[in-house]
Structure 1
Amino acid sequence: MELRHVEYFLAAVDHDGLGSAAAALGVSKPSLSSGLRSLEKDLGADLFHRVGRGMVLSAAGKAFVGPARQIVRDTVAAESAYVAPDGLPRGRLDICASAYVAEGPVAGVIGRFRKRYPSVSVRLAGVRPADPVGALIRDGHCEIVFSHLPVAAPGLTVRSVGQHEYWVAFPPGTDVPDDDPFPLGLLPDIRVVGVPKEASSRSVVERALQAAGSHTVMSTVLEQREAVGSFVVEGVGMSFIERSLARRAGAAGAVVRRPDPPITLGYGVVYDPRRLSPAAAAFLDML
């Protein structure tokens, strides 16, 4: 099994197709396709289902993603121990983060990290509410996971990083008192635009509403939590969204208030201290 073929496989996965993967790697599409066929022959399994001109990961392909990322990380670790001639870490850092956590502070930390360690490329993959955090690390999908807390990750280190604050956003023109913070007990009878019930942010909001004696009815459930603010601005309903997203909705015309009492949810990082690359250790030091 050749390392470049493993890299071809990951490029096809990350770029969702052969054309964009070949362009990213600087190789021809036929060469990339041939390399993937060779990798499948070496592994004795089809990694992709060929559907027309498209490709979809097979069960074997999905199972190989984590080990493939680990292979690439381990190879770079063996070459100069992840350190460039200037003494700084190099290579690639794989991070997984829920869309509900990646906003704001996490993006800022990654930005500062890339400026300080330009020889390290960062890949940020999504995490669904149902994904087992521990398995993402143990199976090699990433070295660091950002997740809302608490999180079940036996045998791994969990560090608190900060808190997300949730504000309430009303459709433009909603007649609500100017109180800021806004008492949750005074919420108007407006249906709610929300996220799936599996999301920890929805659970903490519902507990806060119950404690305040407020009763709301869901209007729309969105998997793409980044779109919630747009739905509020379009008048679909009110919503409780992370502060930075609420400010964006306010700039677009939504009526935004801080709730009273405050609604917050802690988030942090999960990792295995025994398997950290120098790049991952440097990233955690920045936190």
Structure 2
Amino acid sequence: MERRQLEYFVAIVEHGGFTHAARALRVAQPSLSRAIAKLEHELGVELFHRVGRNAVLSSAGELMADRARLVLRDFDALRAAARAVGAGPVGRVDVAATSSALEPVIGVIAELARRHPGVLVSTSSARSAAEVVALVVRGRCEVGVCGSAERPAGPGLVVHHLRDEEFLVVAPPGSEIGTGEGIRPGDLKGMRFVVTPPGTAVRALFDRLAVSVGDVPIAAEVADRSVVLPMVLAGIGAGLMPDGWRDAADRAGARVYRFAPPERIPQWLVHRSGPLTAAAQAFAGATLSRAAALVTRT
């Protein structure tokens, strides 16, 4: 079995067929088909069912897909480790992150750009901590950062607690909530909110507050969390945002309020227990250091 065969197999899975995979890999489709046929012959199983012009994963193919990604990750880790000797970390690291992980991810990327310009960070957006874990465990991403009230868990998963991120109320310009510096859940009564779908850490916090207050209507539900702040600024409703969004909300002119006592959710860094590429090690190390610095400042 050759690395190239595994790369071709994973590309077919991720691009949904031989034609799109051949185009993405810039290889002739007959060459791709021959490589997969050879791999199937060596394994003694069919990896795909050919249905007309489409290719559908067989049960053996489904079993192999995630493992093939992990093997390719391990290849990358070995190659990057060899290249890093005497040259510092280089290569690409794929990071899964929820929007609540804006800080430290953006700060870490900026730090790596300064200290290790040979490291490329590619981020994948995830709705929830469970989705982050799935992306890492299945080998689609090497590292993940997420917020979750519960400690993430998964087979072969290494978990680091980063810090407890604080959640804030971001209200339209000119809003006045409460009477002091901090607001209490009761101050939200009657306010309309722009929320994310169920299953996210932010939505779980909103649902808990809504139950305790009793009258917190939903003005809009959006799957793309990047549009929450624009909708708040348009006056559609208020929103709940992690503290990493505070500077952006302040600059945009929104009113930002802290809860008293603070509402916090643990933030986590996760990766597999196997070898990490030099780029992933650099990202993980910088993330842990940055989180420790943030905790010290607060």
TM-score normalised over the length of structure 1: 0.74
Q: Distance in 1 between matches of 2:22 and 2:233?
A: 40
C-alpha deviation, 1:194, in angstroms: 0.6
Read off the aligned partner of 1:98 and give its amino acid letter.
Answer: T
Report % sequence identity.
Answer: 29
Matching residue of 2:93:
93
Matching residue of 1:215:
215
Q: Distance in 2 between matches of 1:16 and 1:167?
A: 41
Read off the aligned partner of 1:202 and give its amino acid letter.
Answer: R
Q: Quick one: structure 1 residues 82 and 130, their matched pair in 2 at CA, closer, same or farther if it must change by over 3 Å?
A: same
After TM superposition, the structure 1 stretch with the greater mean CA deviation from structure 2, 161-170 or 70-79, is 70-79
More helix by percentage? 2
Q: Distance in 2 between matches of 1:263 and 1:47?
A: 51
C-alpha deviation, 1:269, in angstroms: 1.0
Q: Distance in 2 between matches of 1:50 and 1:120?
A: 42
Matching residue of 1:72:
72
Q: Quick one: structure 1 residues 63 and 107, their matched pair in 2 at CA, closer, same or farther if it must change by over 3 Å?
A: farther
- Retained in 1: the 8 A contact 2:196–2:225? yes
C-alpha deviation, 1:175, in angstroms: 4.8
After TM superposition, the structure 1 stretch with the greater mean CA deviation from structure 2, 145-154 or 201-210, is 201-210
C-alpha deviation, 1:11, in angstroms: 7.2
Tell me if 1:172 matches 2:173: yes
Matching residue of 2:122:
123
- Retained in 2: the 8 A contact 1:98–1:147? yes
- Retained in 1: the 8 A contact 2:74–2:276? no
Matching residue of 2:204:
203
Matching residue of 2:111:
112
Unmatched 5+ stretches in structure 1: none
Read off the aligned partner of 1:192 and give its amino acid letter.
Answer: F
User: CA-to-partner distance for each residue in 1:207-228, whole Å, 9 max, x for gaps?
Assistant: 35655x4631222111111111
Q: Distance in 1 between matches of 2:63 and 2:117?
A: 31
TM-score normalised over the length of structure 2: 0.71
Query: Between Structure 1 and Structure 2, how many residues are aligned?
Result: 277
C-alpha deviation, 1:163, in angstroms: 2.7
Read off the aligned partner of 1:143 and give its amino acid letter.
Answer: E
SS at match of 1:108: helix
C-alpha deviation, 1:204, in angstroms: 2.9
- Retained in 2: the 8 A contact 1:169–1:240? yes
- Aligned pairs (5 A) from 1:243-258: 243-258=243-258
- Retained in 2: the 8 A contact 1:226–1:245? no
- Retained in 2: the 8 A contact 1:194–1:202? yes
Read off the aligned partner of 2:118 and give its amino acid letter.
Answer: S
Q: Quick one: structure 1 residues 224 and 141, their matched pair in 2 at CA, closer, same or farther if it must change by over 3 Å?
A: same
Matching residue of 1:279:
279
Matching residue of 2:43:
none
- Retained in 2: the 8 A contact 1:98–1:127? yes
Q: Quick one: structure 1 residues 130 and 79, their matched pair in 2 at CA, closer, same or farther if it must change by over 3 Å?
A: closer
- Retained in 1: the 8 A contact 2:174–2:255? yes
CA root-mean-square deviation: 4.0
After TM superposition, the structure 1 stretch with the greater mean CA deviation from structure 2, 164-173 or 130-139, is 130-139
Q: Distance in 1 between matches of 2:8 and 2:111?
A: 29
